[in-house]
Each structure stands twice: as C-alpha cells, then as structure tokens.
Structure 1
Amino acid sequence: MARMTNTEYWTSAPDRTVRGSMGLCHLTVFQPPFTVDARSLPPQDPARARAFAGSSEGIEEVLEDLGPRSVLTPLPSSVRADLDVVHAAAWGGMLSLVSPAFATDGNDEPLRSAATELRERFPDARIVGRVAYRGGMEHTEDVVWLPDGAMFHASGWPDDEPFVVSGDPHAVIVSLELKGWQLDNVGVDLREPANEIEWARLAGLALGPSDPWGWEEMEATAFRVRHSEDAVRNMEGLYFV
C-alpha cells in the first residue's frame, strides 16, 4: 500500500526533521472492572481501536492501518510525516491512544483537553494520561480523572519552574484507596515540591494491575491519521523551530 502523507494542514515538508523526542505519550480510558491483570485483558481489537482513534479529539480521519505494534514500541518521531502516526488500542474495557499531539512544552494543555472530552464520553471510567516531551529539557503533563470526580492535573518542568498542579491529588489517593506502602513503592511523596513529584507514577497507580504499558506482549495498532488544523498548528509550533 502506498504511504499516505497528504494531510492538508501541514506547512512543513514531510521529510523535515523533528525537534525533540517523546517519552510516555498516552491517554487511557479504563472502564470497570478495575482489578483485571493487564495480561488477562482481552486481545487487541483493531477495528474498535480504529474507531476510538477516529473519534478522539484532534483527529479528523484515520487514513491507513499500519499494523500491530507492541506497546513498548515508541511512536516514530524522526521527520514530520511521522507525526501523522498514532497508536491506538482496544483491550475490552480499556481504550488507549498514543499520539504526538499530546506532547507540549507548556504553552498549552493538549492532554487535559483530550481528557476532558473523554470524561464527558465515559463518565464511569478512569481517565489516565501520561506525557513527557524532551526538547532540551523535559516537560511532563499527567492527568487522572476518576468516576467519582476526584482528579488531578500536573504540568510543568520537573526539577524546575513553573510547575502547576490543579485538582486534588490527595482526593485521588483516597478514592483509589491507595496505601502508604503503595506510594512508597513508586517513590511518590506529596509532601515534596510539586516539580519533584513523580506524577506519572501516581497516574500509573490509577491503572493498578491493569497497566498495560510495561508488557511487550500487549499489542496496539499503528494508524496514519489526519490531525485537525488546531492539532497540526500546535505540533508545528512544538516540533519545528
């Protein structure tokens, strides 16, 4: 199948080199039950994953199925055309999207915006997002939104300022019934300054044993998509100087 690169809104050439790199870059809808071991989740459903990607904020259309990928496979990010590739997953009650459009350097909050939209669509789900972008320094954005309304959003430069936390992380911990030893095991201490807390690790506890992101055998599907004009504008400002 011919490689599709015409996505209308880009002003940068498809072979233009991307600045920076992505670490974690995913947003997950976790529907009950919340105690399933990740390796016991149903196998990947590519059709449902495609539908989820196509219905997600910032994506206008899914153009091409690029085949299965392990969840440990990072998004491609060498040239501009790579930024049209997302990974999507549908493992039973867990849906997830890995997208370069979630990354930010602090000028906007794409992960929070997408999480807000998913919260409206899936009010009984845990919405969990973890994103890291490295462009000289690392910028992170993490969000947890629970069915009872408890949430936190943390965004900024680890070990630097500014770093902004909204919502109530303590309420999230109470809602999840997390014990002190669980927080200790992942190195989370809310008494530390906000820019020194490992927010992504706290977000991971919201997925619990169902967290799929460390298992090579867990598969997602790669898709080439047409991002929205706003998403493209934000990515051009982030990935190109």
Structure 2
Amino acid sequence: MTDDEYWTYPPEQGLARYGEFRLTMVEPPYAAGAEELPEHDPGRAREFAAGLRTVAAVVDEEERIGATERMAFGTREDLGLVGVGCWGPVSEANDPALAFAGGTFPLAEQADELVERFPGAVVIGSATVDHPLTFHTHVFHHPSGARLFAAGWAGEEDWDVEGSPYEIAEAFGIPSGALAERGVQLGARPGDFAWEGLTRLALRSVGPLLRTGRELSVFRVRRTEGTAGDLEETWIDDGGAF
C-alpha cells in the first residue's frame, strides 16, 4: 500500500517555501563530557523513524548522508523523506512534517510523545518555515520537569508561549557567560529571542555538538492522509497555512 492517493500534487511539484526541522532526544547517561558519539545505528534509526507520529510506515532506507548534509528538499516527493541519526544516547529526526501546519504544532506534539515514551530523556526541537517572514516553533524538555514551548512569527508580538527561558537555562545549567556569548537575553521578546543560541547551549550541556563525521539514514516513508495534507498546506499551497 502506498500513500499516493493522499497527495493532491504530483511528485515533481516544486515547493513554495523553505525551512529547517530537527528534533533531538538525548537519553541518560548524558555525554556532555564526550568528544564524540558512537557510530550511527541504522537499525535503531529505522525503529525511531517508524515510531514518529508523522510516519505511517517506513518504506525503505534510500541513502546515508553526513549529518552536516541536508536531505533533498525541493519537490513534493521529498516530503516523503525523513532523516534519522542514532548515535549512542542521541537520536535525531529531520522531518518536514514537524513544521507548522495550519494552526497545529506537530513538533510539540511529537516532543510530548517522546517524553512520555522515554522517561528521563532530554528532548529539544526547532522548526521554521519561511514565507516571507519566518514562523518558528521551539520545544525544550528537561527531565526535571522544566518545559518551554514557543511558536510565532519572527519579529512579531503575538506568540504562543508556555514555560520560561529562565527555567530552561537553570535546568540545563547554562552559565550566564555562555548565554551572553550566544546573544541569548532571557528576558527578550519571543519574536526577537535568540532561539538557535539557547538550543545549541542546551544541547551542548548533555552531549557533544560537533556533527562532522556523523552519518544519518534517509528513509522513504508512507504518510497518513492527515500528515500528507498538512505537508502540502505548509510547503506548497499558496495562501494555505499562511
């Protein structure tokens, strides 16, 4: 069975928007002091991909790429690709279906699900969609219970926010000097906040950040009907979710 019947656009249809989408889970024991992580485990990566709420089934592993490379992302057909890296305690998913889709927040929903399935894990994710301003979604979960969710348009006032950057910085033990170096002002408005800086600092506190030399698997997946529709609305439709 394929999901071809769920798609409105043909495989060669070009995408109208660009974005980034990454969700990282780090299980204990954390590897903050390690210089590198174990090699990629493709079998565990396939299991992780199959467990994503945006994936109905994994069809095949298409290729393996460097963790610093970007998956193909230019046509509707590419919306059926999910990249997953599993390096010891770290599991990471790169999935365009995690991005904003018409008023829902699949990134936050997936993060919540992982927290329930993997008690004690750190879960951090970011997704952006550019059209023409950038729509952001960010999630941080620490095993202490500290949680931060934020979503909205860059530079705008009206953001959905649950939790506090102050609590996240404290939970992850991020020094004020490191925050300053990354330009992270914890009291800044969400629309002007340095989200990438806080994400990197939080991840660095539980494992090595260097991605050079790591591999990840790129899987062709089958989508559910709802996910296929959300993907087209987010990345292709003119005036759909935006």
TM score, norm. by length of structure 2:
0.91
Q: Distance in 2 between matches of 1:194 and 1:11?
A: 35
Match of 1:19 in 2: 16
Deviations 1:127-167 (A, max 9, x none): 01011211221111111101111010111111124222211
* Structure 1 position 36, deviation (Å): 3.6
Q: Which segment drifts farther, 173-182 or 103-112?
A: 103-112
Identity of aligned residues (%): 30
Q: Distance in 1 between matches of 2:77 and 2:193?
A: 34
Deviations 1:165-195 (A, max 9, x none): 2112211111112110011111100222221
- Whether the 8 Å contact between 1:63 and 1:224 is mirrored in structure 2 is yes
- Whether the 8 Å contact between 1:5 and 1:81 is mirrored in structure 2 is no
Number of aligned pairs?
236
Matched, 1:75 2:56: no
Deviations 1:16-64 (A, max 9, x none): 11110123x1111101232345752110001100110001111011111
> Structure 2: 5+ residue runs without aligned partners?
238-242
Match of 1:140 in 2: 136
TM score, norm. by length of structure 1:
0.91
Pairing 1:1-241 to 2, within 5 Å after superposition? 7-23=4-20, 25-36=21-32, 39-104=35-100, 107-208=103-204, 210-212=207-209, 214-241=210-237
Q: Which segment drifts farther, 151-160 or 98-107?
A: 98-107
Are residues 9 and 167 of structure 1, via their aligned partners in 2, closer, same or farther at CA, if it must alter by over 3 Å? Answer: same
Are residues 217 and 141 of structure 1, via their aligned partners in 2, closer, same or farther at CA, if it must alter by over 3 Å? Answer: same
Amino acid at match of 1:218: R
Q: Distance in 1 between matches of 2:4 and 2:194?
A: 36
Q: Distance in 2 between matches of 1:62 and 1:115?
A: 20
Amino acid at match of 2:170: V
Are residues 39 and 220 of structure 1, via their aligned partners in 2, closer, same or farther at CA, if it must alter by over 3 Å? Answer: farther
What value does the CA root-mean-square deviation take over the aligned residues?
Answer: 1.9
Are residues 39 and 113 of structure 1, via their aligned partners in 2, closer, same or farther at CA, if it must alter by over 3 Å? Answer: same
Match of 2:240 in 1: none
> Structure 1: 5+ residue runs without aligned partners?
none
